[in-house]
Amino acid sequence: MNEEITRRRTFAIISHPDAGKTTLTEKLLLFGGQIQVAGAVKSNKIKKTATSDWMEIEKQRGISVTTSVMEFDYQGYKVNILDTPGHQDFAEDTFRTLTAVDSCIIVVDGAKGVEAQTRKLMTVCRMRKTPVIIFINKMDREGKDPFDLLDELEEELQIKVRPLSWPINQGAKFKGVYNIYEQGLNLFTPDKQKVTEKVEVDIQSTVLADFVGESDAQKLRDDLELIDGVYDPFQVQDYLDARVAPVFFGSALNNFGVEELLNCFVEIAPSPRPTQAEEREVSPEEPKFTGFIFKITANIDPNHRSCIAFCKVCSGKFVRNAPYLHVRQGKTLRFSSPTQFMAQRKSTIDEAWPGDIIGLPDNGIFKIGDTLTEGEVMHFRGLPSFSPEMFKYIENADPMKTKQLQKGIEQLMDEGVAQLFINQFNGRKIIGTVGQLQFEVIQYRLENEYGAKCRWEPISLFKACWIESDDKVQLEAFKKRKYQYMAKDREGRDVFLADSGYVLQMAQQDFEHIRFHFTSEF
């Protein structure tokens, strides 16, 4: 069993939209032998979206909301990739995916540097102490100076970096990458289908100039000397403790620098790690099976209106048809057709090990965050909710359908589409989301799935933050003063709805004994 666990690598590829996640995934599958010619993935990718109705909205909007789960074997390792959506309106989906992985690869566009979405995703990785590797993409286009990029990464993502490969020039003059980790030179020939040649070369020898030219050879030597002077030697443990992020340079589209990334990744990335449940820590080596549901999707096959719940195996071995306890409902369930996803097909499996992600048929019994065990009652820590940035009052547009609306709102909140706050001042319901699109999706789904009509009313708010304090007197004073802007979330916790950044800043200054949290996991 330990052998199965140590050869697992489960990771997510995350970035700002258009930095090149899907292209990178495609190239990784090429190396994994899942596809013969890169470019085959896009057409065969399973379209997995949140519900069948999204497909309509998706067609109208033409944006992708697919998160794909793919697996392949590489050099004796079993690699599970989760390719996440980049569009920020579906960020919650990406955040949830991050709870099911052991490490991440962050893709950064060499010309644009660190963008807003990348910063947000990195916050999640820091919260969960997830090790990250950074891949700086698009080196075959003109972009920022590599040293400036490294400084920007350290400053923006608040983590130390250590380059493990280094570009020789960039843009039109891009000649390749020197692999610091394996100390080899990789020369660049743009080819989207095949893999480039590697040259073993001593960096100090004159031979280097024959490959890249005298001036670039000298610049490479100077750069490498500077890197050794500025950055500490790379220690795998620092990476595993999420203190240092190794950095690789390359061009995913032209299949360059990707193999270095993959080789180093399978060698140093963590195998499945212990998972923290509320009751205790669960180690992957435990003999009994445990797992949690981190994502529910519908309509993988439009002919059968079936939902699939994605379950991450945390410990033990999952066996088909064995009885497992659904902790929240207290029921024992058996799964006759658990599936696993390859890039383009899903196949039924008989067993799965820690780190694997399995699809379980779901007929409305699962909620996000549900736990499955072999009888032990335990709950895995909730998945984080972020403080929303868009708010609207939700009002019932059809008084005859009050019950349906109530049920619809409750179930959609369970699925994690948005967050619900009850204003303490007037008792009205406020829905908070991370993106404008969510409002349209909620309205569409309430009408089509629950037969309830809602209408939105504007409310001007800047941010919602959870507050707590050990100083009861000050907390009460704060709630009195901000009475109109106090709300409760579904767990009954206090939420302060700030109507501007200035108000929030002043509140933080005036009430120093109150802690303001911007995620619900504290």
Measured between alpha carbons, how far is residue 505 from residues 427, 462, 512 in Å?
26, 12, 11
- Predicted confidence band at 206 (pLDDT cuts at 50, 70, 90)? low
Helix, strand, coil percent content, the chain, rounded in steps of 5 = 30, 30, 40
- Predicted confidence band at 414 (pLDDT cuts at 50, 70, 90)? low
Neighbours of 467 (CB within 10 A): 19
How many helical (H) and strand (E) elements, i.e. helices and strands, does the chain have? Answer: 15, 31
263-284 residue pLDDT tens: 888 888 888 888 877 888 888 8
The b/e string for 202-212 (b: 16+ C-beta within 10 A; e otherwise) is ebeeeebeeeb
In DSSP terms, 281 is beta-bridged to 276
User: Is residue 381 scored above 50 in pLDDT?
Assistant: yes
User: Is residue 431 scored above 80 in pLDDT?
Assistant: yes
User: Is residue 316 scored above 60 in pLDDT?
Assistant: yes
Q: Where are the alpha helices (DSSP H) in 205-344?
A: 207-212, 214-230, 236-240, 258-268
The whole-angstrom separation of Cα 371 and Cα 480 is: 39
Give CA 107 to chain center in angstroms: 12
Average pLDDT over residues 86-91: 58
The pLDDT value recorded for residue 36 is: 47
User: Is residue 86 scored above 60 in pLDDT?
Assistant: no
Residue percentage of the chain with pLDDT more than 90:
4
- Predicted confidence band at 190 (pLDDT cuts at 50, 70, 90)? low
User: Is residue 215 scored above 50 in pLDDT?
Assistant: yes
User: Is residue 63 scored above 70 in pLDDT?
Assistant: no
In DSSP terms, 396 is beta-bridged to 454
Strand 419-423 to 318-319 pairing: unpaired
The pLDDT value recorded for residue 65 is: 44
- The HSE-up count of residue 272 (CA atoms within 13 Å, CB side) is 32
Backbone dihedral region for residue 246 (phi beyond 0: left; psi -120 to 50: alpha; all else: beta)? beta
> Which has the closest alpha carbon to 98: 12, 34, 33?
12
For the chain, the average pLDDT equals 77
- Give, in degrees to the nearest 5, the angle at Cα 356 between 355 and 359: 140
Q: Where are the alpha helices (DSSP H) in 10-128?
A: 21-31, 40-44, 52-61, 91-98, 116-127
The pLDDT value recorded for residue 239 is: 87
Average pLDDT over residues 2-30: 76
| Range with the poorest average pLDDT among 317-321, 412-416, 516-520 | 412-416
- Predicted confidence band at 93 (pLDDT cuts at 50, 70, 90)? low
Report whether 359 contacts 306 (CB < 8 A): no
In DSSP terms, 107 is beta-bridged to 135
Measured between alpha carbons, how far is residue 494 from residues 448, 464, 467, 515 in Å?
33, 10, 6, 11
Phi, then psi, of 203 in degrees rounded to 5: -65, -30
In DSSP terms, 334 is beta-bridged to 323
The pLDDT value recorded for residue 37 is: 45
Residue 110 is encoded by which pair of tokens? Answer: 């060499």
The pLDDT value recorded for residue 39 is: 42
Q: Which SS3 state, helix, strand or coil, does residue 301 take?
A: coil
Cβ-defined contacts of 374-377 (< 8 Å, 24+): 374/288, 374/289, 374/290, 374/316, 374/322, 374/324, 374/325, 375/288, 375/325, 376/288, 376/290, 376/325, 377/279, 377/325, 377/327
Greatest mean pLDDT range, 85-99, 238-252, 508-522: 238-252
Report whether 165 contacts 248 (CB < 8 A): yes
Average pLDDT over residues 70-91: 72
461-515 residue pLDDT tens: 888 888 888 888 988 999 888 888 999 988 788 899 988 889 989 988 888 888 8
The pLDDT value recorded for residue 204 is: 65
Average pLDDT over residues 67-89: 72
Phi, then psi, of 81 in degrees rounded to 5: -105, 135
The whole-angstrom separation of Cα 270 and Cα 255 is: 25
- Predicted confidence band at 344 (pLDDT cuts at 50, 70, 90)? very low
- Predicted confidence band at 64 (pLDDT cuts at 50, 70, 90)? very low
The pLDDT value recorded for residue 392 is: 93
The pLDDT value recorded for residue 242 is: 82
Torsion of CA 386, 387, 391, 393, to 10 degrees: 90
Write down all domains in the chain, each with its CATH number in brackets. 2-57+73-268 (3.40.50.300), 275-373 (3.40.50.300), 390-517 (3.30.70.3280)
Give the DSSP H/E element, type plus range, for residue 463.
strand 463-469
279-303 residue pLDDT tens: 888 888 888 888 888 877 654 554 5
In DSSP terms, 421 is beta-bridged to 430
The whole-angstrom separation of Cα 245 and Cα 238 is: 8
